[in-house]
Amino acid sequence: MTRVPPPPWKPLHIHVLFSFLFLLITVVEFSCASSQHFLTSERITLLKLKQQWGNPPSLRNWNASSSPCNWEEVICNHNGSVEWLLLMSMGLTGHIPPFICDLRNLETVFLSDNFLTGEFPKVFYNCSKLVNIDIARNGFFGRFPNDIDRLSGLMMFAVGGNNFTGDIPPAIGNLSALMYLSLDNNLFSGSIPSEIGNLSNLETLDLSSNDLEGEIPSGLLLLKKLYSLTLHKNNLSGRIPSMIQSLHLIEIDLSINKLNGSIPKDFGKLRQLEVLNLFSNHLSGNIPSEIKSWSSLTTLHLARNKLSGPIPPTIGYLKGLLNLDLSENQFSGDIPPQMSHLKLMTLNLSSNKLAGKIPFAFDNLAYENSFLNNPDLCSSASSPISNLHNYYAKSPHSQKFPPKIIAVIVVLSTLIILFAILCTMNVYRRYLKK
């Protein structure tokens, strides 16, 4: 089995959006200069935190003679009490200490991309106003506690890229305010608790790159506000839930699992869908003809499944489609000529059972690796790749100059010629002067 390439395109992560938003807010706070007053007790707490986290050079501005509300990493409310701690990529080490909740009004703690460690930070249970927690990409480990619902006000919870193990506790379904939940790139096992389907405010769910198994709970695709569902690279099996009510979905990534059955017809209801990654599963059946309603789709990656039947001609009317990979399936029939309308960046129909002629628009060298291993496929006699078999038998190392190199060569030669002309003119002029 060949290595699976990363999905060709991912929408801007809400993470990034959040960070930009926060930067903006920081700037606004500064310009309002409402940050003269502060609570002395909270400055003491912050300086203790700085020490607890190894006195990193990134926090050298945190000292006993300045107002914490003026520190770049801190946002205070109008009473000069700390609300937000923005400590991403600060080189922090050690544990999260219980006294962090002495910051009575703490709402947001961003601690991603540091070297913090320890078991699940239950200390946050005592921060009564906490709404946003991001501890992604640190060194946390161990099981999630079964009473995780004590973080009851949580709206954003990002813990990706740690070493959390064990089951995802069903109590997570009690965090009813959650909008953003990412548990990706950990060592979670067991099945996805169906209680996640109770999170009616959820917009983003990322459980990718864990060891989750069992079926996808049907409740996930009933979440009305969900717009990004990423379950990529787990051990999920069974069918994709057939009933879908998450009509705002923009991205679905269920790739690299063991899902079987067919692509649900209800996917046709997803009019806002931009990315559908279902590659490397055991899916069978046809591509549903309902796909014609995917007018926003940019990426359709269904490679390495057992999908069969014809490629629906309606695929040619997905105007925004940029990346289409249907390789290593059992699609048959002709390549629909309607596909010539598409302005694709990547196309792969290799290793199927397609027959007939390659549409004129694709019958050129740019697509030389897009139709490999379809024994009954042929190109037109006038095509630059008219001898399909010889052409595709060619060694992959054979020399051919890519357009960029050709452009460089052309520019260089032009420069050299110009230079030569100038030199000649110069010599000629001197000659005339004599």
Q: Contacting ligand NAG (CB under 6 A), which of 18, 22, 99, 125?
A: 125
**Rule CB under 6 A: is residue 149 a binding residue for ligand NAG?**
yes
Q: Contacting ligand NAG (CB under 6 A), which of 182, 329, 348, 383?
A: 348
Distance CA(406)–CA(370), nearest Å, equals 23
**Rule CB under 6 A: is residue 66 a binding residue for ligand NAG?**
yes
Q: Hey, how many other C-beta atoms are within 10 angstroms of the C-beta on 64?
A: 8
Tell me how far, at minimum, the Cβ of 429 lies from ligand NAG, in Å: 54
**Rule CB under 6 A: is residue 107 a binding residue for ligand NAG?**
no
User: Among residues 344 and 355, whose Cβ is nearest to ligand NAG?
Assistant: 344
Q: Contacting ligand NAG (CB under 6 A), which of 8, 11, 94, 261?
A: 261
Q: Which helix (H) or strand (E) holds 351?
A: none
Q: Hey, how many other C-beta atoms are within 10 angstroms of the C-beta on 129?
A: 13
**Rule CB under 6 A: is residue 209 a binding residue for ligand NAG?**
no
Q: What are phi and psi of 389, to 5 degrees?
A: -70, -50
Tell me how far, at minimum, the Cβ of 150 lies from ligand NAG, in Å: 9
Distance CA(63)–CA(76), nearest Å, equals 17
**Rule CB under 6 A: is residue 121 a binding residue for ligand NAG?**
no
Q: Contacting ligand NAG (CB under 6 A), which of 40, 89, 128, 163?
A: 163
Tell me how far, at minimum, the Cβ of 414 lies from ligand NAG, in Å: 32
The stretch among 50-58, 158-166, 291-299, 352-360 that binds ligand NAG (CB under 6 A) is 158-166
Question: Cβ(326)–Cβ(370) under 8 Å?
Answer: no
Report the relative pairing of strands 82-86 and 74-76 from DSSP bridges.
antiparallel
Q: Contacting ligand NAG (CB under 6 A), which of 44, 55, 97, 123?
A: 123
Q: Contacting ligand NAG (CB under 6 A), which of 40, 41, 89, 126?
A: 126
Question: Cβ(146)–Cβ(171) under 8 Å?
Answer: yes
C-alpha 275 chain-centroid distance = 10
Q: Contacting ligand NAG (CB under 6 A), which of 19, 34, 77, 330?
A: 77
Give the DSSP per-residue string, 39-106: -HHHHHHHHHHHHHTT--GGGTT--TTS-GGGSTTEEE-TTS-EEEEE-TTS--EE---GGGGGSTT-
Q: Contacting ligand NAG (CB under 6 A), which of 242, 260, 296, 330?
A: 260
Distance CA(434)–CA(432), nearest Å, equals 5
Q: Contacting ligand NAG (CB under 6 A), which of 19, 52, 165, 235?
A: 235
Distance CA(89)–CA(72), nearest Å, equals 14
Distance CA(29)–CA(15), nearest Å, equals 21
C-alpha 414 chain-centroid distance = 43
Question: Which amino acid, residue 80?
Answer: G
Q: Which helix (H) or strand (E) holds 332?
A: strand 330-334
Interface mask toward ligand NAG for 373-412; x: CB under 6 A: ----------------------------------------
**Rule CB under 6 A: is residue 242 a binding residue for ligand NAG?**
no
User: Among residues 169 and 316, whose Cβ is nearest to ligand NAG?
Assistant: 169
Interface mask toward ligand NAG for 15-44; x: CB under 6 A: ------------------------------
Binding site for ligand NAG (CB under 6 A): 61, 63, 65-66, 77-79, 98, 105, 122-123, 125-126, 139, 149, 161-163, 170-171, 173-174, 194-195, 197-198, 211, 213, 219, 235, 237-238, 260-261, 327-328, 348, 350-351, 369-370, 372
